[in-house]
Structure 1
Amino acid sequence: MQSLVPHTFQPSHPTGVDILRDGFLAHMFGVFTELFFQSLLKTSIRSLPVQFPLQGWPSAFALSQGAVTTLQANVVDAYQYPYLLLDLLVNTAIGPVVPQTLWVPRSSRDLAQYVLEATLELPIFFVRNDGGIGITVADASAGNSASLLGSTRAVNVGGRTSVHLRIQWPGYKEWRRQFQTRDETAARSVITLDRFIRHVGRSLDRFLEAMSSEIPDGFPQWRIGPNAIGRHDITIVGVAHVSSGSWMPILQLNHPLVV
């Protein structure tokens, strides 16, 4: 758990900011954002005292430690108080967040077992040491993640030995890739964040390659391929835990969407 900037830093931010409208997850999941937080927090997010911002985390939406008893703090503010980081404020001037439908298991039994009754982990955001948010697909795939906070720490994926990364890109069929989250040592330790990010980056590369020859079903502005969206256009902001063994990448274009 780390703070981004000295506590003397006083960020400026817009008034009336709302996690259900202005965060990355709101831009990603749209009308399903509240359902995502309900599954994560096991209560309505509207009933909780979400704070914005934190000292040291000028774009953070967070809850104080203890606000939700099933989850542990994953950041500390500039005064070393622990918080649950829920989301970050989107800077839409950079580019749009890729909208994705929230993935959930199809059967009601699996939905109950792997989402509603399961313990989901807090989103993992890829935050740089300088306070910037995200990493390019190219850097993630190549393992160039040393500039990220906590890159050498074990990643919390809920105790799973493997996970599925699921992508619901507009206009394309659902796509997934499974990868291991334990290392090759005798202890089979949980992999570090930098290795996890490399898996995410390589998964994105495989997805983009597979979809580059596909014709999208609508949403032409989100077309993938030559003379359209490619790996150099995308920033990986983080990942969201959507079911016991499944995560979804939070993605943002690094330029305005060409309509």
Structure 2
Amino acid sequence: MVPAQELIRTKHCNSILAAAFGVEFACSRASDHARRTWKVVQTAAGPAGTFADFDHFVFFSYSDLHETDIIPRDLPTRAIAFFAWTTFAFGAYTFQSRSAAWWHVLDIDAPNPALIVPMPIFKPYGQSTMRQENVMRETDPRALWFIRSDGGLGVPVVGELPVLWHGHKDFLRLDGSPRKTIKIKVNWPGYERWEKQIRPMSDKGDNSVKRLANLVANKVNLFLSEHDINQGHTGTNPRYVVGTQPGQISARDVLLLGIVIVSGGAAMPIVQLRDGFAFAF
């Protein structure tokens, strides 16, 4: 049996989260979700247990035993899926495969990692490791992906929002409660950290993924417009300079893939450049 951490690294080393925030981040989020789920499953199973050990549990969690090659089918394109066991709710984070099983999409393979915009991950409470760990215990380790109804990934940050697979479902906390406000933090390469607050829940009670995607896309668009080189912001990383000249990045070049929750009240966008984008450097 392949050790759990080795299997997790194999699954996630070429993923979107690895390209955006680093391999260690992608693997730690997957491992965190796996251990939380393992604890719930073992508690529900009682003293007899269900699996011999964590390694076996993780292997079967990535496997659809109803498929001959154990790969779940009819999920979002290139999904790295983890079986939902008894922990799922019929919400924004769960998807049903061809075998009628339910899965969490923990990550997605990156066919072109160079197009993913890398951002240093925000860490709550700076260098206080203990406080960070306390916060992360209450933080949802799963990414929320903006998956289109055709199974493709991502929405433009300018222009019309496409129909989303789970667009009508609620954006909720890990405990199932609604989020009234959340800060969107952008650590664009070569620029100062930037953040803006959004209200995922409208005054009329709309707390949908569609609303969230639209709000986050608008904030990413705002960041790009405020940091255009024509506004006097040159940036320190020539590869990711924001602007409208060839090789520079404008809002029309950017696709919002989803978000990751980084603290109880903050999230970071997962951003990709359009297919065919030509870097100047």
Q: Which is worse superposed, 72-81 or 35-44?
A: 35-44
Kindly tell me: are residues 207 and 177 of structure 1, through their superposed partners in 2, closer, same or farther at Cα, counting changes over 3 Å?
same
Residue number in structure 2 paired with 1:113: 134
Per-residue CA deviation, residues 24-47 of structure 1 (Å, 9 max, x unaligned), is 101111243233434555579995
Residue number in structure 2 paired with 1:74: 94
1:185-204 matches, within 5 Å, as: 185=204, 189=205, 191-204=207-220
CA distance in 1, matches of 2:192, 2:34: 29
Kindly tell me: are residues 194 and 165 of structure 1, through their superposed partners in 2, closer, same or farther at Cα, counting changes over 3 Å?
same
Residue number in structure 2 paired with 1:151: 167
Q: What TM-score comes out, normalization by structure 1 length? A: 0.79
CA contact (8 A) 2:17 2:23 kept: no
Residue number in structure 2 paired with 1:11: none
CA contact (8 A) 2:12 2:109 kept: no
Residue number in structure 1 paired with 2:203: 184
Per-residue CA deviation, residues 182-231 of structure 1 (Å, 9 max, x unaligned), is 2213xxx35111111110111011111222232212x2111112311010
CA distance in 1, matches of 2:269, 2:188: 10
Unaligned runs of 5+ in 1: 1-16
CA distance in 1, matches of 2:31, 2:262: 11
Corresponding position: 1:236 with 2:256: yes
Kindly tell me: are residues 257 and 37 of structure 1, through their superposed partners in 2, closer, same or farther at Cα, counting changes over 3 Å?
farther
SS of 2:22's equivalent in the other structure is helix
Q: What TM-score comes out, normalization by structure 2 length? A: 0.73
SS of 1:22's equivalent in the other structure is coil
CA contact (8 A) 1:164 1:177 kept: yes
CA distance in 1, matches of 2:258, 2:102: 20
What amino acid maps onto 2:22 in structure 1? Answer: G
Q: Paired residue for 1:126, among 143, 146, 157?
A: 146
What amino acid maps onto 2:108 in structure 1? Answer: L
Please report how far the alpha carbon of residue 251 of structure 1 lies from its aligned counterpart in structure 2 after TM superposition: 0.8
1:42-121 matches, within 5 Å, as: 42=35, 47=55, 48-49=58-59, 50-51=62-63, 53-57=71-75, 58-66=77-85, 72=89, 74-92=94-112, 96-105=115-124, 106=126, 107-115=128-136, 117-120=137-140
1:167-182 matches, within 5 Å, as: 167-182=186-201
What amino acid maps onto 2:20 in structure 1? Answer: M
| Higher share in helix | 2
CA contact (8 A) 1:118 1:244 kept: yes
What amino acid maps onto 1:30 in structure 2? Answer: G
CA distance in 1, matches of 2:106, 2:270: 13
Residue number in structure 2 paired with 1:19: 11
Corresponding position: 1:246 with 2:262: no
What amino acid maps onto 2:132 in structure 1? Answer: L
CA contact (8 A) 2:72 2:99 kept: no
CA contact (8 A) 1:121 1:156 kept: no
Residue number in structure 2 paired with 1:37: 30
